[in-house]
Structure 1
Amino acid sequence: MKNIKKILLITAMTMALGTSAFAASGFEFILNVPFGMNIAFPNRETKDLGLEKNYGGFDAGVEAQIGYMFQVKEGFGISILAELGYIWDWYNYSSESATATGGGGWTLDGSYHSLKLGLLPKFNIGVGKGTIALGIGGGVKIPAVANLRYGYGVWNADLNREDGIDTVTLKRQDIVDLFSPALIGYMKFTFDYYLFFTDKIGMNFGFYLGGSFGPKVRDLKLGGNAFDFGLQLGFRFGPKA
């Protein structure tokens, strides 16, 4: 009986210590609105057509990060988060600036409406009433709709654009048939600051840096990659570090 009591006492103490050590562990949910820019880098086949210049593109979307934060010690925790969302990306390549009277050039650009799936581990550091979170991860964007433009555009004497550019809208099956791969891979680094209003509810202010690996036209291999950067604002539910 004494041995049983000792075992029960040791078990209870172990559970109590474990509960105390991981008191801040728990479910984590973040809803973000990222918005920013990208700089595209055409591949060799695209450059061979003279489409070597890029004047910046844009990204915007909404994403949910869902997972669990494990508190390693007071003031420091590690989050394992799945990322799910919608993202709009616009990339462009040009052969000439076309910013002056009579200017013009060939252009190739595409915008993609995609489902975003990824994994984003984060390191959480408690700072005063808030938390700093550093994340690094990646995944894929699955384009559902793409709008492509290609052609020669010029500016007239009044600096009004006179386009000889064709536009085509592609659905998912069209994208699968035309591109290889029919996905956009991505990697990113995030820096976030969580400002808490309660023990588990706060606002998220941050920025991101990353890279996108764009789809290539299957036969011509036209395409490229991009460097992405921007801000993100959102809502966070979960324990402090």
Structure 2
Amino acid sequence: MEALLLLLTPTVPTFFLMFLLVYLFAFFLVFRNWDPKHRREASSCFLSLSHGTPAVIMAVHALTRAPTPRSFASPNAAFQNVVLEFSTAYFLMDLLHYMVFFPNDILFISHHLATLYVFATCRFVVHHGAFAILVLLVLAEVTSSCQNVRSIASLRRADAPAAAKLYEFLSLPFYAFYSVVRGILGTLVVYKMGVFYASGAAAGNMIPKWAWVSWMVVIVAAILVSILWVLNLWMDWFRERSRRGQKKVK
């Protein structure tokens, strides 16, 4: 069955077309009655929803079915390459969205370009290291569903009580889940990757030094930004709780 799936594996352009259709479906149908700014943001969230959970399922399957022995420098297995292509197409589509509608959002554009660099070099240049990249992809996307539903609810919470309630309901669990996954598990995996690569275990023709050093720079920067982002969310949450408490006292 898996062999048949690999024979039918779509390429990056085919995956890109799929994500383009998902985006257009969201933009012209799902959110067609929203105001222009929120319509664009919600369409991007919808696109992310279509990528996040499927990417986690595919990556877990690719990791658990990978040939042994497994290491951060293992050759890419066939289905691992499929997952890399799937995520590459998503980030290309979302990058296009930001460049068209939010060209001044340098942080997101830089994030997408850096992520695409890691995926593309792992898949098409180095041909090793997908095991490490897919572990990080799972950690990055496992919070995607909660994050994007919360983000869509946030866009309508000012004028839709149900959206405001959903936003409030999801916020605390999302902050806690994201903190554990990115702040603790993500940091641990990145540390283990750094120790592995710095030890010289990936030397030679497996993963050249320029590749793993550049990957680590991108990944460490992404982890740090993620931690800072969720810390800022926690501070906003505590400030809001404090403000509400003061109102009750008055």
Common topology (TM > 0.5): no
More helix by share: 2
**Structure (1 or 2) with the greater strand fraction:** 1
TM-score (norm 1): 0.21
Larger radius of gyration: 1
